[in-house]
Amino acid sequence: MPSLGSALLALAFVTALAAAAIALAGRDGNRRRIDLSRRVVYAFCGLLTLCVAIIEIAFASNDFSFNIVAQHSSIETPAFYKLAAMWSSQEGSLLLWAWVLSIVSSAALYATRAKLKEIVPWATAVMMGVAAFFTGLMLFAPDVNPFSSLSPVPADGIGLNPLLQHPSMMIHPPMLYSGYVSLTVPFAFAIGALITRRLDAEWIRSTRRFALIAWALLGFGLLLGARWSYTELGWGGYWAWDPVENAALMPWLVITAFLHSIMVQEKRGMLKVWNACLVVAAFSLALLGTFLVRSGVLQSIHAFGDNTVGPYILGLIAVVLIGSTALIVSRLDDLRSEKRIDSLVSRESVFLVNNLLLVAMTAVIFWGTFFPLISELFTGDKASLAAPWFDRYTTPLAILLVLFTGIGPLLAWRRVSWASARRVFAVPAIVAAVAALALALLSDTTHKPWAYALFVFSAFALTGLGQEFWRGAAARRKLAGGSMPAALVGVVSRNRRRYGGYVVHIGIAVVLIGIAASSSFQTNRDVTLRPGQSAVVDGRTMTYVKPTVAVNDEYLQFGSVLRVEEGGKLVTVLHPSRRYFRPTGQPVGTIGSYFDGEATSEVGLKAGFGEDLWAAPQPDISAVQRRVRAADKGFRACVSGAPGTPPQCKALALTMRAAAANPQLRARALGQIAGIQSATASRIAESYLTDNSATIFKIIVNPLVTWMWIGGLIALMGALLALWPARGRRRGAVVSTELDALKEAKYREIRDAELDHAAGKLSDEDFALLDAELRKEAVQILDRV
Amino acid sequence: MDPQRKRKIRLVVALSVAVLLAVALIYTSFSASTEAKEPSQLLTAAPGTSYEMTGKVVKGSIRHQGSGIAFRVVDRDGGGQSLPVTYTGTVPDPFRGGREIVLTGAIEGGTFVGEPETLITKCPSKFTTKSDA
What mean pLDDT is predicted for residues B27-56?
83
Nearest C-alpha neighbor of A453 from the set A519, A406, A403, A408? A403
Domain boundary among A131, A161, A191: A161
The number of folded domains in chain B is: 2
The answer to whether residues B25 and B66 belong to one domain is no
What mean pLDDT is predicted for residues A387-415?
88
Residue B69 lies in a domain: yes
The answer to whether residues B63 and B11 belong to one domain is no
The answer to whether residues B51 and B83 belong to one domain is yes
Higher per-residue pLDDT: A673 or A393: A393
Residue A371 lies in a domain: no
Give the mutation candidate from A299, A300, A555, A622 for the B interface (greatest B CB count, under 10 A). Answer: A299
- A158–B133: do the CB atoms touch at under 8 Å? yes
- A234–B90: do the CB atoms touch at under 8 Å? yes
The answer to whether residues B62 and B105 belong to one domain is yes
What mean pLDDT is predicted for residues A21-41?
91
Residue A153 lies in a domain: yes
CB A576 within 8 A of CB A559: yes
Q: How many CB atoms lie within 10 A of CB A200?
A: 18
- For β-strands A555-566 and B63-65, DSSP reports them as unpaired
The answer to whether residues B25 and B8 belong to one domain is yes
Cβ neighbours for B97, distance < 8 A, ≥ 6 positions apart: B57, B58, B59, B60, B61, B62, B71
Domain boundary among A703, A728, A760: A703
Please state, in angstroms and as integers, the Cα–Cα distance from residue A410 to each residue in A269, A358, A420, A648, A774, following that order. Answer: 22, 20, 10, 83, 20
Nearest C-alpha neighbor of A757 from the set A481, A403, A479? A479
The answer to whether residues B84 and B23 belong to one domain is no
What mean pLDDT is predicted for residues A533-537?
91
| A294, A368, A600 member nearest B29 (Cβ) | A368
The amino acid present at A377, given as its one-letter code, is L
Please report the pLDDT score of residue B124 as a whole number: 54
The answer to whether residues A195 and A243 belong to one domain is yes
Q: Is the pLDDT of residue A586 over 70?
A: no
Please report the pLDDT score of residue B132 as a whole number: 30
The answer to whether A368 contacts chain B (CB < 8 Å) is yes
**Residues of A in Cβ contact (< 8 Å) with B25:** 363-364, 367, 393
What mean pLDDT is predicted for residues A731-757?
71
Which of A132-141, A587-596, B33-42 is predicted least confidently? A587-596
Classify A52 as helix, strand or coil: helix
Please report the pLDDT score of residue A588 as a whole number: 56
The answer to whether residues A171 and A244 belong to one domain is yes
Residue A560: band (very low, low, confident or very high) from pLDDT cuts 50, 70, 90: very high
Higher per-residue pLDDT: A456 or B33: A456
Angstrom distance (rounded) from CA A759 to CA A74: 62
Which of A204-208, A713-717, B13-17, B123-127 is predicted least confidently? B123-127
The answer to whether B115 contacts chain A (CB < 8 Å) is no
CB A514 within 8 A of CB A722: no
Q: What is the pTM of this model?
A: 0.88
Angstrom distance (rounded) from CA A667 to CA A660: 11
First-to-last alpha carbon distance for chain B, in angstroms, is 69
The answer to whether residues A207 and A126 belong to one domain is no
**Residues of A in Cβ contact (< 8 Å) with B128:** 90, 304-305, 307
Using only C-alpha atoms, chain A has a radius of gyration, in whole angstroms, of: 31
Higher per-residue pLDDT: B45 or A182: A182
The answer to whether residues A610 and A725 belong to one domain is no
Residue A411 lies in a domain: no
The answer to whether residues A150 and A194 belong to one domain is no
The answer to whether residues A171 and A147 belong to one domain is no
What mean pLDDT is predicted for residues A459-478?
91
The answer to whether residues A181 and A53 belong to one domain is no
First-to-last alpha carbon distance for chain A, in angstroms, is 58
Angstrom distance (rounded) from CA A123 to CA A109: 9
The answer to whether residues A182 and A318 belong to one domain is yes
The answer to whether residues A544 and A683 belong to one domain is yes
Q: Report whether the peptide linkage leading into residue A428 is cis, meaning its omega lies within 30 degrees of zero.
A: no
Residue B23 lies in a domain: yes
- Binding-face residues of B in 23-82 toward A, CB within 8 A: 25-26, 28-30, 32-36, 52, 54, 64, 67
| A158, A600, A696 member nearest B93 (Cβ) | A600
Which of A338-347, A707-716, B49-58 is predicted least confidently? A338-347
Classify A759 as helix, strand or coil: coil
Residue B7 lies in a domain: yes
Please report the pLDDT score of residue A367 as a whole number: 92
To which H or E segment does residue A109 belong?
helix A90-111
Please report the pLDDT score of residue A300 as a whole number: 58
CB A43 within 8 A of CB A12: no
Q: Model confidence over A104-129: pLDDT tens digits?
A: 999 999 988 888 888 999 999 999 99
Q: Is the pLDDT of residue A363 over 90?
A: yes
Residue A771 lies in a domain: yes
Task: Supply the range of the domain harboring residue B25.
Answer: 1-33
What mean pLDDT is predicted for residues A98-106?
95
Q: Is the pLDDT of residue A731 over 80?
A: no
Residue B66 lies in a domain: yes
What mean pLDDT is predicted for residues A660-686?
78
The answer to whether residues B55 and B98 belong to one domain is yes
Please report the pLDDT score of residue B129 as a whole number: 35
The answer to whether residues B61 and B110 belong to one domain is yes
Higher per-residue pLDDT: A390 or A419: A390
Q: Model confidence over B51-109: pLDDT tens digits?
A: 888 888 888 888 877 777 889 988 877 777 888 999 987 787 778 787 888 888 888 88
- Shortest CA gap B109–chain A (Å): 24
Q: Is the pLDDT of residue A646 over 80?
A: no
Measured between CA atoms, the residue of chain B closest to residue A695 is B67
The answer to whether residues A681 and A761 belong to one domain is no
Q: Calculate the average pLDDT of chain A.
A: 85
Residue A302: band (very low, low, confident or very high) from pLDDT cuts 50, 70, 90: low
The answer to whether B90 contacts chain A (CB < 8 Å) is yes
The answer to whether B2 contacts chain A (CB < 8 Å) is no
The answer to whether residues B49 and B113 belong to one domain is yes
Classify A167 as helix, strand or coil: helix
The answer to whether residues A563 and A626 belong to one domain is yes
Residue B1 lies in a domain: yes
Share of residues in chain A with pLDDT > 90 (%): 36
Domain containing residue B97: CATH number: 2.40.50.140
The answer to whether residues B55 and B104 belong to one domain is yes
Q: Is the pLDDT of residue A297 over 70?
A: no
Q: Is the pLDDT of residue A349 over 90?
A: no
What mean pLDDT is predicted for residues A738-759?
78
Task: Supply the range of the domain harboring residue A749.
Answer: 720-784
| A233, A371, A392 member nearest B93 (Cβ) | A233
Q: Is the pLDDT of residue A18 over 90?
A: yes
The answer to whether residues B29 and B58 belong to one domain is no
Residue A406 lies in a domain: no
- Shortest CA gap A91–chain B (Å): 8
The answer to whether residues A241 and A122 belong to one domain is no
The number of folded domains in chain A is: 4
To which H or E segment does residue A280 belong?
helix A272-292
Domain boundary among A642, A672, A703: A703
The answer to whether residues B10 and B68 belong to one domain is no
